[in-house]
């Protein structure tokens, strides 16, 4: 057993069952364990089958401070939403009757144009941060809008409520359908620089900027180049969309005739790095996936959105075969649910649909999808050295799950072990079962005001 030779004090101790993923094992169940978190929010120790009194003496905490998990409870890593439009949350659950390009022009751009109004932004952004945290999203990779001040407000709210977040001020200098919702190229550069500088100046420990060209059809080639340069000079994350629908892929061919593929558009403008996450990718070719692998860029799989606006079905198995990093995203509001549990279920549904179409297709298992929602998301955002599973030294981002809350959605039966309990939670559970949420050791749910 390691000695407590550091000066850090133990802030939380949990005892019971922990469920997480490692690169080698999709679901590892650690029963009869005790896990300590230090006052810097890092996992200080994990001990199995140890006497609690001796562990408490070594680490210097009172046994009365231990949070004992019950029979129907477990701790799991927080879920990572690798692609969510905070600005579209106001109309989530509606407006799902048009394909992507018409959907953007009809519903999305007119709503996003309203974020000049900071009161409106404050209302929606407060609600989306709280809703996602309550549903177990400990890390979110957000698109905001083109408005710098509202995007900074989103960062402030994520920090206030304690969510780990990447926040992107959207960049777009082309929009013929809704011309009032775009910037000039020079405005876009000046405002992106201001957004990055001001957000970094806040020194929020867990909220960082992400360079966000909306997608190739909304950006001139020179804007894409400028954004590639900004991201690379400042070693920042990059997010965008790629190959979501066939109509979009055809449009990109006409807009960028000198590029070999949609992927080549981003590659040529230095936007594919090991800190890049591209949403969707439903129609990427194997050749394009190889470029993702070589550059270390990741894909955010957004199955609810892909189905809701009839964009396509990503073959996750094929992406994984190409050793491309992949996480899950809700893609609110093309996706109608802000819950990562929904993203897990839709990922399984899509994989099963592909198997119905082709029985040779190797269906994803719920264990694999659990990993994609947690550690996989952290890998996709290049945060897996910091968090994503229960490893000593990593930040403690975790959910306390109770599958038997009063009036909850799950019934258990005799003899059901932790693996079945996990599967039931993933398929049947909801926010009522997520009784506590921790980000970097700070308990953020229940909210302090409730």
Interface contacts to ligand XAN, rule CB under 6 A = 85, 100, 104, 108, 214-215, 241, 244, 305, 331, 334
Distance from CA of residue 177 to its chain's centroid?
A: 30
Q: Report phi then psi at 400, rounded to 5.
A: -95, 120
| Shortest reach from residue 237's CB to ligand XAN, in Å | 17
DSSP 86: G
CA–CA separation, 349 and 366 (whole Å): 11
| Shortest reach from residue 161's CB to ligand XAN, in Å | 23
* Residue 215 interacting partner from Zn ion, ligand XAN, none (CB closer than 5 to 8 Å by kind): ligand XAN
* Contact stretch for Zn ion (CB under 5 A) within 51-59, 106-114, 199-207, 328-336: 328-336
| Shortest reach from residue 428's CB to ligand XAN, in Å | 27
The candidate with the shortest Cα–Cα distance to 124, out of 328, 302, 333, 377, is 333
| Shortest reach from residue 279's CB to ligand XAN, in Å | 7
CA–CA separation, 146 and 238 (whole Å): 15
| Shortest reach from residue 256's CB to Zn ion, in Å | 20
**Binding track over 348-387 against Zn ion, x by CB under 5 A:** ----------------------------------------
| Shortest reach from residue 104's CB to ligand XAN, in Å | 6
Q: Decide: helix, strand or coil at residue 358.
A: coil
The candidate with the shortest Cα–Cα distance to 303, out of 276, 270, 281, is 281
* Residue 315 interacting partner from ligand XAN, Zn ion, none (CB closer than 5 to 8 Å by kind): none
DSSP 326: E
* Residue 342 interacting partner from ligand XAN, Zn ion, none (CB closer than 5 to 8 Å by kind): none
Between 173 and 331, name the residue whose CB sits nearer to ligand XAN. 331
| Among 112, 183, 288, 331, interactor with Zn ion by CB under 5 A | 331
64 Cβ contact partners less than 8 Å away, ≥ 6 residues apart: none
Helical spans, DSSP H, in 169-325:
185-201, 221-233, 246-255, 262-268, 286-295, 303-308, 316-321
Between 191 and 331, name the residue whose CB sits nearer to Zn ion. 331
| Shortest reach from residue 39's CB to Zn ion, in Å | 37
Between 91 and 120, name the residue whose CB sits nearer to ligand XAN. 91
70 Cβ contact partners less than 8 Å away, ≥ 6 residues apart: 16, 402
Cβ–Cβ < 8 Å for 314, 280: yes
Q: Report phi then psi at 309, rounded to 5.
A: -110, 25
| Shortest reach from residue 143's CB to Zn ion, in Å | 6
CA–CA separation, 101 and 375 (whole Å): 32
* Residue 244 interacting partner from ligand XAN, Zn ion, none (CB closer than 5 to 8 Å by kind): ligand XAN
Between 244 and 384, name the residue whose CB sits nearer to Zn ion. 244
119 Cβ contact partners less than 8 Å away, ≥ 6 residues apart: none
Residue labelled with tokens 């006409």: 254
DSSP 218: G
* Residue 212 interacting partner from Zn ion, ligand XAN, none (CB closer than 5 to 8 Å by kind): none
Examine residue 397 and tell whether it contacts Zn ion (CB under 5 A).
no
CA–CA separation, 341 and 135 (whole Å): 8
| Chain position whose Cβ is nearest to ligand XAN | 334
**Binding track over 268-287 against Zn ion, x by CB under 5 A:** -----------x--------
Between 215 and 438, name the residue whose CB sits nearer to Zn ion. 215
The residue ranges that bind Zn ion (CB under 5 A) are 279, 331
């Amino acid at each position: 057993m390691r000695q407590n030779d550091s000066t850090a004090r133990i802030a939380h101790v949990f005892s019971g069952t922990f469920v997480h993923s490692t690169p080698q094992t999709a679901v590892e169940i650690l029963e009869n364990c005790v896990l300590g978190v230090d006052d810097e929010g890092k996992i200080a120790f994990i001990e199995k089958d140890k006497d609690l009194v001796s562990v408490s003496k070594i680490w210097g905490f009172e046994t009365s401070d231990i949070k004992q998990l019950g029979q129907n409870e477990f701790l799991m890593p927080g879920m990572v939403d690798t692609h969510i439009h905070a600005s579209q949350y106001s109309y989530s659950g509606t407006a799902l009757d048009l394909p992507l390009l018409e959907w953007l022009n009809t519903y999305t751009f007119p709503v996003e144009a309203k974020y000049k109004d900071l009161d409106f932004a404050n209302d929606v952004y407060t609600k989306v941060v709280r809703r996602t945290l309550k549903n177990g999203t400990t890390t979110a990779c957000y698109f905001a809008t083109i408005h710098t001040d509202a995007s900074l407000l989103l960062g402030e709210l994520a920090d206030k409520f304690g969510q780990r977040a990447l926040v992107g001020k959207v960049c777009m200098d082309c929009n013929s359908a809704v011309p009032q919702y775009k910037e000039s190229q020079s405005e876009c550069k000046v405002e992106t620089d201001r957004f990055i500088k001001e957000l970094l100046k806040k020194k929020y420990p867990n909220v960082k900027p992400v360079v966000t060209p909306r997608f190739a059809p909304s950006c001139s080639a020179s804007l894409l180049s400028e954004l590639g340069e900004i991201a690379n000079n400042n070693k920042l994350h990059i997010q965008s969309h790629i190959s979501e629908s066939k109509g979009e892929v055809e449009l990109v061919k006409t807009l960028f005739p000198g590029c070999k593929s949609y992927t080549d558009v981003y590659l040529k403008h230095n936007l594919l790095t090991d800190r890049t996450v591209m949403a969707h990718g439903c129609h990427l070719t194997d050749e394009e996936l190889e470029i993702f692998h070589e550059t270390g860029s990741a894909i955010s799989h957004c199955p609810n959105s892909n189905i809701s606006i009839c964009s396509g079905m990503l073959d996750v198995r094929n992406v994984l075969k190409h050793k491309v990093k992949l996480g899950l995203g809700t893609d609110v509001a093309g996706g109608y649910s802000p819950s990562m549990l929904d993203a897990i279920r839709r990922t399984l549904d899509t994989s099963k649909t592909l198997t119905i179409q082709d029985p040779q297709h190797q269906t994803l298992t719920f264990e694999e999808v659990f990993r994609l929602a947690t550690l996989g998301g952290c890998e996709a955002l290049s945060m897996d050295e910091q968090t994503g599973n229960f490893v000593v030294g990593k930040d403690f981002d975790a959910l306390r799950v109770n599958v038997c809350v009063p009036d909850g959605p799950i019934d258990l039966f005799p003899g059901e072990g932790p693996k079945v309990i996990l599967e039931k939670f993933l398929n049947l559970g909801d926010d009522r079962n997520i009784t506590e949420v921790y980000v970097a050791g700070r308990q953020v749910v229940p909210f302090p005001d409730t």
